[in-house]
Amino acid sequence: MSTLPKIGFIGLGIMGSPMSENLLKAGYDVTGYTLEQDKIDRLVKAGGKGAASIAEAVKDADVVITMVPASPQVEAIAYGPDGILENARSGALLVDMSSITPQTSVDLAKAAKDKGIRVLDAPVSGGEAGAIEAVLSIMVGGEQADFDSAKPILEALGKTIVLCGPHGSGQTVKAANQLIVAVNIQACAEAVVFLEKSGVDLKAALDVLNGGLAGSTVLTRKKDNFLNRDFAPGFRIDLHHKDMGIVTDAARNVGAALPVGAVVAQLVASLRAQGDGGLDHSALLRAVERLSGQQV
């Protein structure tokens, strides 16, 4: 009989499915719920249990993990008679790993406290590959004791796991992460177009650039996307558009100027408006190509 905490996992998408499977590999009892039955079936095939509702997934859980797209979805699964707060047991720990506004996380923690439920906001960076390989960077907001109890679980999902401060701090750091990633991808995309138009061997150029100060995790992860024009979604433009809205709003609230970030936020928004919202964020390359007179 396993003495590990029972986990209820809500949201089995691009990130949630491999994350839940890594918890199973680590020996945890995982019961999952999501809107698509085929993804529940995938979890069951991997050794987990499927639930027909949020209430069923969380009722016996010691820890509830959520991984959904944005603040409205977090609020939808957390609140109301069918939500997590009404159906999880008192004393349970809710670890929200979605990327949402810091204020949504603060509000959730307050509401959960009234129900005797502890909360951590624990958004991640690393994309689909990081989720599959269990090497995510996890930035956490909440109480130290709750972080300490959750850390063994988080260690099954990631490699860099840091308590960043009180509730909402994890989301604030994630917003900064998304700012850095978007600007980095945009710079890489501009370099790719510049190199190709100059007649340079692109693969050779990216290899040598990635070995120097211009190298980055972004370039390592996205190099093949650029080379092959493969924009199958690891992290969709739609979601990065949402995240750029979070960081620009949060920065305005604290009086921080983001001149380059604001421009890149508009470039992400324009790519989405052109119908590319479902593509990987490396598809920012497509926007630079259009601006440079290339048909894509």
Per-domain residue ranges of the chain: 7-166, 172-291
Best CATH choice for the domain 7-166 from the list 3.40.50.720, 3.40.50.150, 2.60.40.10, 3.20.20.330: 3.40.50.720
Exposed / middle / buried, residue 269 (Cβ in 10 Å: 0-12, 13-18, 19+): middle
Question: 172-291 belongs to which homologous superfamily?
Answer: N-(1-d-carboxylethyl)-l-norvaline Dehydrogenase; domain 2 (1.10.1040.10)
The string of pLDDT tens digits covering residues 146-195 is 999 999 999 999 999 999 999 999 999 999 999 999 999 999 999 999 99
Comparing 7-166 with 172-291, is the CATH topology the same?
no
**Site of tokens 């809500």:** 10
Does residue 174 contact residue 99 with C-beta atoms inside 8 Å? yes
Give the type of residue at 120.
Answer: L
Calculate the CA 258 to chain-centre distance: 22
Cα separation, 231 vs 282, whole angstroms: 7
Does residue 11 contact residue 123 with C-beta atoms inside 8 Å? no
- pLDDT recorded at residue 296: 75
Does residue 158 contact residue 125 with C-beta atoms inside 8 Å? no
- Active-site position among 39, 174, 222, 242: 174
- pLDDT recorded at residue 2: 63
| Cα Rg of the chain (Å, integer) | 20
* Spans in the chain with pLDDT lower than 70: 1-2
The string of pLDDT tens digits covering residues 220-255 is 999 999 999 999 998 999 999 999 999 999 999 999
Q: Which residues have CB under 8 Å from 243's CB, separation 6+? A: 99, 174, 175, 178, 182
The β-bridge relationship of strands 63-66 and 93-96 is parallel
- pLDDT recorded at residue 234: 87
Helix (H) or strand (E) holding 244: helix 237-254
The β-bridge relationship of strands 49-50 and 136-141 is unpaired
- pLDDT recorded at residue 169: 97
* Catalytic (active site) residue 242: no
